[in-house]
C-alpha cells in the first residue's frame, strides 16, 4: 500500500527529471561566488521577483534569520505576528543569535497584523526602548494568502515610520497562485523576501533570500558566520531551477485537490472543517477521538499532522494525486466518530 503523506508539502520526493538535472549541473565553490548554477538561480529569481540581488541558502529558517540580522543590529526590534514562523517556529533565532528583540502582534484570523496595533507597538526613540527597525509579514500564513490590498497598506506604514519591510514568503508561489497574479506583484514593496524551494515547489533543499545588494552582502556574511557557506551547491540549485521551471504552474492542482478534500470532509458527520486555504485543509474531531483517528488513518497508510496545531492539518503537494485524495476521503468516511 502506497503511503499518502499529507503532513506537509516538505515531504516530496525529487522527481526523476529533477534528479537528472542535479547530476548534470555545472558546479563551483559558492563561497568564492563561483558556482555557475547557484549564480544562475540567484540571478533568475532576483530578476523575476524584482530585486537587485539574491542569496541561495540551505533553509527558510536560515534565510529569515539572515534577513533579520541584516536589517537589525543588537538591541533592535522587529514587529512580527505572534503566530508567525520567524517568531514561533524558528527556535527564537533572531533573539538567540541576533540579539534582536521580537515584538509579537496577535494576528487577525486572516493572518494580517492589524496596522493600528503595529503602529502602537513602534517604540519611541529613547534609551528605555529597543529600536524598532523592521516589520515582518508572512504570506501565505497557515495557507492563507493575506488580503492583497493589505500588502500596500502595510508598506505605506513601514515607509511612513521608517521601518524595513520583510516577507517570509516560504509559500510565495502559493500566494501568487491564489491571487492569480505574477509573484513579483506579491513581492513588490518589500525590502527583503525569503522564498522556499523545498515546500510546494518540491526541491529537496533550499531557500532564496532577495533584497538590494547591500542587504544581500550583509546576509552573505551572516550566512558564513552561521555555517551556511556551502561549496558545490549547484546540484541543489539545479533542483531549485527545475522546480521553478516545472512546479510553479501546477500549484493550482494542489489548491484544487485541497478544495476537493475540504468539500468531501465537510460532509462527514463528526468532522468539522476549520478551513481550506491554498494547499492546506484544517479539520477538527472531538478531542477524545483524536488518537483513535490517528491510528485508523495510519492503518490506511495515511499520515496527517495531528497535535501540532489545534486542528488536524492536511497539506496537498506534488506527490498527492487524485487517487490519494479519494483514499484519504474514504479513510475519513470509514471512521466512527
Ligand X SMILES: *Cc1c(COP(=O)(O)O)cnc(C)c1O
Segment 45-74, which members bind ligand X (CB under 6 A)?
Answer: 59-61, 64
> Does residue 254 bind ligand X (CB under 6 A)?
no
- Cβ distance to ligand X smaller for residue 144 or 199: 199
Measured between alpha carbons, how far is 234 from 26 in angstroms, rounded to an integer? 7
Residue 226 lies near ligand X (rule: CB under 6 A): no
Q: Least distance in Å: CB of 62 to ligand X?
A: 7
Near ligand X in 92-151, by CB under 6 A: 138
**Judged by CB under 6 A, does residue 210 bind ligand X?**
no
137 beta partners: 167
Find all residues with CB under 8 Å of 292, minimum gap 6, and list them. Answer: 335
Among 18, 79, 135, 170, binds ligand X (CB under 6 A): 170
211 vs 293 by CB, closer to ligand X:
211
Question: Where are the extended beta strands (E) located within the chain?
Answer: 4-5, 53-57, 76-81, 101-105, 131-138, 164-169, 192-196, 207-211, 272-277, 280-284, 302-303, 312-315
Cα(197)–Cα(170) distance, integer angstroms: 8
| Grid cell 462527514 in the structure block, residue | 268
Minimum distance of ligand X from residue 282's CB (angstroms): 15
Q: Judged by CB under 6 A, which of 21, 53, 76, 85 binds ligand X?
A: 85
- Helix (H) or strand (E) segment spanning residue 235: helix 234-246
* Binds ligand X by CB under 6 A, chosen from 5, 30, 77, 168: 168
64 versus 187: smaller Cβ distance to ligand X: 64
Q: Which is nearer to ligand X, 64 or 332 (CB)?
A: 64
The alpha carbon dihedral of 94, 95, 96, 97 has a sign of positive
CB of 335 to ligand X, least distance (A): 28
d(CA 212, CA 209): 10
305 counts as binding ligand X under rule CB under 6 A: no
Name the minimum Å distance from CB 201 to ligand X.
Answer: 12
List beta partners, residue 136: 166
Least distance in angstroms from the C-beta of 334 to ligand X: 31
Owner of C-alpha cell 516530496 = 12
Q: How far apart are the C-alpha atoms of 122 and 105, rounded to whole Å?
A: 11
Shortest approach of ligand X to residue 64 CB, angstroms?
6
- Interface residues with ligand X (CB under 6 A) are 59-61, 64, 85, 138, 168, 170, 196, 198-199, 207
Amino acid at each position: 500500500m502506497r503511503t499518502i503523506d499529507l503532513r506537509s508539502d516538505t515531504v516530496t520526493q525529487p522527481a526523476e527529471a529533477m534528479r537528472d538535472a542535479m547530476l548534470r549541473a555545472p558546479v563551483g565553490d559558492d563561497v568564492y561566488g563561483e558556482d555557475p548554477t547557484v549564480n544562475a538561480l540567484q540571478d533568475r529569481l532576483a530578476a523575476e521577483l524584482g530585486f537587485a540581488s539574491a542569496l541561495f541558502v540551505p533553509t527558510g529558517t536560515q534565510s529569515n534569520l539572515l534577513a533579520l540580522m541584516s536589517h537589525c543590529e543588537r538591541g533592535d526590534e522587529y514587529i512580527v505576528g505572534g503566530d508567525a514562523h520567524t517568531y514561533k517556529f524558528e527556535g527564537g533565532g533572531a533573539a538567540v543569535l541576533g540579539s534582536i528583540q521580537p515584538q509579537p502582534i496577535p494576528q487577525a484570523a486572516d493572518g494580517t497584523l492589524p496596522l493600528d496595533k503595529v503602529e502602537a507597538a513602534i517604540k519611541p526613540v529613547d534609551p528605555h526602548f529597543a529600536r524598532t527597525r523592521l516589520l515582518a509579514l508572512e504570506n501565505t500564513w497557515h495557507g492563507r494568502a493575506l488580503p492583497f490590498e493589505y500588502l500596500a497598506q502595510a508598506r505605506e506604514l513601514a515607509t511612513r515610520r521608517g521601518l524595513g519591510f520583510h516577507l517570509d514568503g516560504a509559500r510565495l508561489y502559493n500566494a501568487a497562485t491564489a491571487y492569480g497574479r505574477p509573484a513579483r506583484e506579491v513581492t513588490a514593496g518589500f525590502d527583503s523576501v525569503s522564498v522556499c524551494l523545498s515546500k510546494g515547489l518540491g526541491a529537496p533543499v533550499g531557500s532564496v533570500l532577495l533584497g538590494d545588494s547591500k542587504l544581500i552582502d550583509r546576509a552573505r556574511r551572516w550566512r558564513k558566520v552561521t555555517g551556511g557557506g556551502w561549496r558545490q551547491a549547484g546540484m541543489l540549485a539545479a533542483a531549485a531551477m527545475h522546480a521553478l521551471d516545472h512546479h510553479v504552474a501546477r500549484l493550482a492542482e494542489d489548491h484544487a485537490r485541497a478544495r476537493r478534500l475540504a468539500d468531501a470532509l465537510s460532509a462527514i458527520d463528526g468532522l468539522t472543517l476549520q478551513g481550506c486555504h491554498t494547499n492546506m485543509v484544517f479539520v477538527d474531531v472531538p478531542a477524545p477521538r483524536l488518537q483513535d483517528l490517528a491510528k485508523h488513518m495510519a492503518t490506511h497508510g495515511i499520515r496527517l499532522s495531528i497535535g501540532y496545531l489545534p486542528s488536524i492539518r492536511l497539506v496537498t503537494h506534488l506527490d498527492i494525486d487524485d487517487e490519494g485524495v479519494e483514499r484519504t476521503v474514504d479513510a475519513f468516511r470509514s471512521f466512527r466518530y
